[in-house]
């Protein structure tokens, strides 16, 4: 029994010593590791159960020995007691701990594609009513879902997504309202105020605003930002080294 347990542990350690990170192992390899770990635990549990059985018999024997002097019942023989003690001679490794196995989170991370993007507008720009806001600079695009040419994010997989965008309205302009659209359905809205005055003499500050939306998106659906009808006919976005207008999203 002890030999079987040692062999299983050796096999497990050899398979776990691969240079390939756990997050990059094939699903079959991970399941193989989990299966070996389960077998090791089974062997240890079986070993401990047998030891417990031996202890129970030993205690029964001691009680029988004590009772025999009073009732005349026969106790366990010395040979039987010796055999029980011999079975207990091998110590249990109480310091043993299972090696770290890939959990459900790691399997899910392996099975689901990594999807995340971050983009921004490279310069100040004005947009017309209902126009799609194009964030032409892409900093990150895991899953290749976002397209800078048209400003659309095409969901590469179905799931729950987080989308966030920050818009800074240009100074001396009108408030800017943007809508998060998923296949023509509005899922979120944001208004960014500006330092608007009739003369343009007192507007000095920037007032970026940020929205966050958690929503379900089906594979292939288009996600984008569009400008709501503005008060002044066009919406002026400020985006420079001091105030970035950005659009980001990722799969939960």
CATH number at residue 131: 2.60.120.40
Q: End of a domain among 93, 108, 123?
A: 108
User: Whole domain around residue 143: which residue ranges?
Assistant: 112-251
Whether 57 and 156 map to the same domain: the answer is no
Whether the pLDDT of residue 60 is over 50: the answer is yes
Both structure tokens of 35: 């299966």
- 59 with 139, same domain: the answer is no
3 state DSSP class of 81: helix
Give the pLDDT of residue 237.
87
Q: Nearest to residue 170, comparing CAs of 101, 234, 77, 217?
A: 234
Residues 66 and 49 in one domain: yes
Does the pTM surpass 0.85? The reply is no
Identify whether residues 89 and 135 lie together within a single domain.
Answer: no
Q: Is the pLDDT score of 139 beyond 90?
A: yes
C-alpha R_g of the chain:
34
pLDDT surpasses 80 at 33: no
| Distance from C-alpha of 123 to C-alpha of 126, rounded to nearest angstrom | 10
Q: Which pLDDT score, from 0 to 100, does residue 211 have?
A: 97
Last residue of a domain, one of 108, 142, 164: 108
Say whether both 71 and 143 belong to one domain.
no
Whether 122 and 242 map to the same domain: the answer is yes
Total count of domains within the chain: 2
């Amino acid at each position: 029994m002890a030999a079987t347990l040692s062999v299983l542990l050796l096999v497990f350690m050899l398979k776990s010593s691969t240079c390939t990170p756990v997050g990059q192992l094939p699903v079959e390899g991970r399941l193989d590791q989990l299966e070996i770990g389960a077998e090791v635990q089974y062997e240890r549990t079986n070993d401990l159960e047998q030891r417990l059985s031996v202890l129970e018999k030993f205690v029964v024997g001691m009680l029988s020995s004590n009772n025999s002097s009073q009732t005349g019942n026969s106790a366990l023989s010395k040979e039987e007691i010796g055999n029980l003690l011999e079975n207990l001679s091998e110590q249990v490794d109480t310091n043993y701990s299972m090696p770290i196995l890939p959990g459900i989170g790691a399997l899910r991370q392996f099975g689901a594609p990594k999807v995340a993007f971050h983009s921004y507008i490279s310069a100040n720009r004005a947009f017309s009513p209902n126009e799609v806001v194009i964030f032409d600079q892409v900093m990150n695009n895991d899953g290749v879902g976002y397209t800078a040419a048209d400003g659309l994010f095409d969901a590469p997989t179905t799931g729950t997504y987080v989308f966030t965008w920050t818009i800074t309205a240009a100074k001396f302009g009108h408030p800017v309202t943007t809508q998060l659209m998923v296949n023509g359905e509005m899922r979120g809205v944001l208004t960014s105020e500006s330092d608007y005055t009739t003369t343009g003499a007192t507007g000095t500050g920037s007032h970026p605003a940020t929205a966050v939306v958690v929503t379900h998106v089906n594979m292939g659906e288009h996600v984008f930002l569009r400008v709501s009808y503005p008060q002044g006919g066009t919406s002026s976005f400020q985006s420079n080294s001091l105030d970035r207008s950005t659009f980001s999203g990722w799969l939960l």
